[in-house]
Chains A and B, each alone.
Chain A
Amino acid sequence: MQKVFEKPDLLLKTEHSLCPGCGEPVALRIILELIQELGLRDRTICVAGIGCYTAFPMIMDVDVMQALHGRAPSVATGVKRVRPDAFVFTMQGDGDMISEGLQEVIHSAARGEKFTAIVFNNAVFGETGGHMTAATVLGQHTKTTVGGRDRERHGNPIKISELLAQLDGAAYVARAAVHTPSGIKLTKQYLHDAFRAQLEGKGFSLVEILTMCPTDWFVTPDQGPAFLEEKLKPIYPLGVIKSL
């Protein structure tokens, strides 16, 4: 029988501790596949933020520096500046990057730090159990926006990719989603292009990946992709936003 699919070697375990229907393990698998395919393992340094995906470093066969909530871009700056030959990427959620650490990612992008920032955007604080982040869309129900996020009461969501793309230091910015097979394929393409931008020394690169969080969207796992398609995608359109 011909084997047509297997996990990347860099993924040490196929089991993960995240919820059924979560989009983050899919994103992780793509990232590791790409690092393996590009032969970057030996010089890869991942800087991980705090969120559900904090469970990932222990199953990733690459070097990882665990940062605090919101601080990954600053830590990655220190890493890349002293190890310019390393391939450096950050893993943050929307709560981590867009709520807690917005200042840090903005300054890192403006300085044109040559690492790739990856944000898993599921528009909710997943790990705390479903609370509003700066990326929660209007009308979205969370435990702190019961009845839906309201513009007057809770403010408007931040579109991080569009925000960062306008900065001169940002070389590549794209938004992808992992809720469909074609979306997964495109996510990998965008990550590839972002990695290339880093390796060619062009500047800061960011890939925003919309991921499903059925648990904290209060839907069943099989309804996650449709929720993403209907609620998130209209606010966060997919595509390459900037490519120098």
Chain B
Amino acid sequence: MEGSAAMAEAAVRAGCRFYAGYPITPSTEILEYMSTRMPQVGGVCMNAESEIEAIGMVWGAAGCGVRAMTASTGQGISLMQESFAELANAQIPVVTVNMCRGQGDYFQSTRGGGHGDYRFIVLAPSSAQEAADLAQLAFDLADKWRNPVMIMGDFLLSHTSEIVEFHETVAQRSADKSWAITGARGRRGITLSPLGPSEKLSTDIATTLAHAIDKHAAIKAEEVRVDTGYLDDAELVVVAFGFPGRFVKYAVMLARERGLRVGYVRPITLWPFPTQAVAAAAERAQAVAVFELNAGQMIEDVQLAVLGRAPVHAIGGISHDHSGFGVGPLLNVEYILKRIEEVYPKKGSRVQGNLGL
């Protein structure tokens, strides 16, 4: 099945019972799938009138303790930023899919465009199977941390059909939802709010916000996920994420066949970023290369991880086909291989302390 359908089905199997979305390429297939699938499991799918309304509806459902999800594309995700920031502050667990055009929305996904101190956990699958697995994981992580989780995909992930096997998740539906709005039967009423504490007559806003943000350090410590390969003797380490990360793995394999000692690091969590894995790889290597289909976004996280241990080269770039939806001509194994060969360190070329900026 297509990556979109795989994520939607995985979400349903993870207990998602509310979906609201607004159609936009290449995320529309998730909405289409949910509109049929949700009623079959007693859930709700809303064809919202705007992205702003979609995330508002998801807010309401998730605030009631129901696993809820929306999906869009960078453009539509832009419209949701106000709610994203406040959902994080209100500690409401929602899952969002950002099915990007190209990879130009790395900053949008990992930094966000909303206000204030907040973070989304961001997962970047490279196949339909991984998309299904991560979609299920996303709901567990959202509940575990009471924090929104975003899955960053792209046109190829959305539309490529692959065989998918669904795994049962363990943590689903067991999460503590005692914070949820249910009606105040048997207890004092509570308020679920980004503006302050849930207890009535309390005004300790600073502590509430600090608590919502304190967990960032714990998430960084516990939730990093990364896929690496051929690093033991690598002279050059290529960092890439998402579906293009899969092309890079293949290009690295071909480079090995040509005798080049190349390894790869594929961040699965874009936030928290696998800083340690990149740093360790850079420690051993002569150079680091970053392949991403944008003007250079993740490379900043790579540079922060490498911290001058090795030069960091950008080998991707802005890449669009005529539709503007896809990933464009640069996503080509031969091209990636050529770029790897171009930046592959010449003997004795390493310059200590070069920040590579």
Task: List residues of chain A with CB under 8 Å of any chain B CB.
Answer: 10, 12-13, 41-45, 47, 54, 57-68, 71, 73-83, 86-87, 103-104, 107
Task: List residues of chain B with CB under 8 Å of any chain A CB.
Answer: 17-18, 20, 44, 46, 48-50, 52-64, 66, 68, 82-83, 86, 90, 181-186, 188-196, 200-203
**Can you add 20 more A-B contacts, CB < 8 Å, to A58-B202, A75-B60?**
A12-B201, A41-B184, A58-B196, A59-B201, A60-B189, A61-B184, A64-B192, A65-B60, A65-B191, A66-B194, A71-B59, A74-B54, A74-B57, A77-B53, A78-B46, A78-B56, A78-B63, A82-B64, A82-B66, A104-B52
Contact of B60 among A12, A41, A43, A78 (CB under 8 A): A78
How many angstroms between the C-alpha atoms of A82 and B64 in the bound complex? 8
Given contacts A45-B181, A58-B200, A61-B200, contact A81 B56 (CB under 8 A): no
How many angstroms between the C-alpha atoms of A152 and B281 in the bound complex? 66
Residues B50 and A103 in contact, CB atoms below 8 Å apart: yes
Residues B44 and A81 in contact, CB atoms below 8 Å apart: yes
Contact of B183 among A12, A44, A47, A60 (CB under 8 A): A44
Residues A79 and B60 in contact, CB atoms below 8 Å apart: yes
Q: Which residues of B lie under 8 Å from residue A76 when comparing CB positions?
A: 60
How many angstroms between the C-alpha atoms of A57 and B190 in the bound complex? 8
Q: Could you show 30 A-B contacts with beta carbons less than 8 Å apart?
A: A42-B183, A42-B185, A42-B186, A43-B185, A45-B183, A58-B201, A58-B203, A62-B189, A63-B183, A63-B184, A64-B191, A65-B193, A66-B192, A67-B56, A67-B59, A71-B56, A74-B48, A74-B52, A74-B53, A74-B55, A74-B60, A75-B63, A76-B60, A77-B53, A78-B59, A81-B44, A81-B57, A82-B61, A83-B183, A86-B183
Residues A71 and B52 in contact, CB atoms below 8 Å apart: yes
With CB as the reference atom, state the residue of chain A lying closest to B92. Answer: A65
Q: How many A-B residue pairs have CB under 8 A?
A: 144
Residues A68 and B191 in contact, CB atoms below 8 Å apart: no
Residues B53 and A104 in contact, CB atoms below 8 Å apart: yes
With CB as the reference atom, state the residue of chain A lying closest to B50. Answer: A103
Residues B64 and A79 in contact, CB atoms below 8 Å apart: yes
Q: Which residues of A lie under 8 Å from residue B190 when comparing CB positions?
A: 63-64
A128 to chain B, nearest CB (A): 16
B43 to chain A, nearest CB (A): 9
Most buried by B among A54, A60, A63: A63
Given contacts A64-B193, A77-B46, A103-B50, contact A59 B200 (CB under 8 A): yes
User: Which 6 A-B pairs give the minimum distances between C-beta atoms?
Assistant: A78-B60, A74-B56, A66-B193, A42-B185, A78-B61, A78-B57
Contact of A13 among B52, B60, B83, B201 (CB under 8 A): B201
A97 to chain B, nearest CB (A): 13
Q: Which residues of B lie under 8 Å from residue A78 when comparing CB positions?
A: 18, 20, 46, 56-64, 68
How many angstroms between the C-alpha atoms of A45 and B190 in the bound complex? 10
Most buried by A among B68, B82, B184, B189: B189
Residues A64 and B189 in contact, CB atoms below 8 Å apart: yes
Most buried by A among B46, B53, B83: B53
How many angstroms between the C-alpha atoms of A64 and B181 in the bound complex? 7
Q: Which residues of B lie under 8 Å from residue A107 when comparing CB positions?
A: 49, 53
Residues B57 and A75 in contact, CB atoms below 8 Å apart: yes
How many angstroms between the C-alpha atoms of A156 and B52 in the bound complex? 26
Given contacts A43-B183, A47-B60, A61-B200, contact A82 B53 (CB under 8 A): no
How many angstroms between the C-alpha atoms of A148 and B89 in the bound complex? 39
Residues A54 and B195 in contact, CB atoms below 8 Å apart: yes
How many angstroms between the C-alpha atoms of A79 and B326 in the bound complex? 36
With CB as the reference atom, state the residue of chain A lying closest to B60. Answer: A78
How many angstroms between the C-alpha atoms of A66 and B86 in the bound complex? 10
Residues B191 and A81 in contact, CB atoms below 8 Å apart: no
With CB as the reference atom, state the residue of chain A lying closest to B202. Answer: A58
Contact of B181 among A12, A41, A54, A79 (CB under 8 A): A79
Given contacts A54-B195, A58-B203, contact A103 B44 (CB under 8 A): no
How many angstroms between the C-alpha atoms of A211 and B41 in the bound complex? 45
Residues A68 and B86 in contact, CB atoms below 8 Å apart: yes
Q: Which residues of A lie under 8 Å from residue B55 when comparing CB positions?
A: 74
Residues B181 and A82 in contact, CB atoms below 8 Å apart: no
Given contacts A59-B201, A64-B189, A103-B50, contact A77 B60 (CB under 8 A): yes
Contact of A60 among B44, B48, B54, B200 (CB under 8 A): B200
Given contacts A63-B183, A65-B192, contact A79 B61 (CB under 8 A): yes
How many angstroms between the C-alpha atoms of A39 and B56 in the bound complex? 28
Residues A65 and B184 in contact, CB atoms below 8 Å apart: no
Residues B50 and A77 in contact, CB atoms below 8 Å apart: no
Q: Which residues of B lie under 8 Å from residue A87 when comparing CB positions?
A: 183
Residues B189 and A81 in contact, CB atoms below 8 Å apart: no
With CB as the reference atom, state the residue of chain A lying closest to B82. Answer: A68
B345 to chain A, nearest CB (A): 51
Most buried by A among B54, B61, B184: B184
With CB as the reference atom, state the residue of chain A lying closest to B203. Answer: A58
Given contacts A66-B193, A74-B57, A76-B60, contact A81 B18 (CB under 8 A): yes
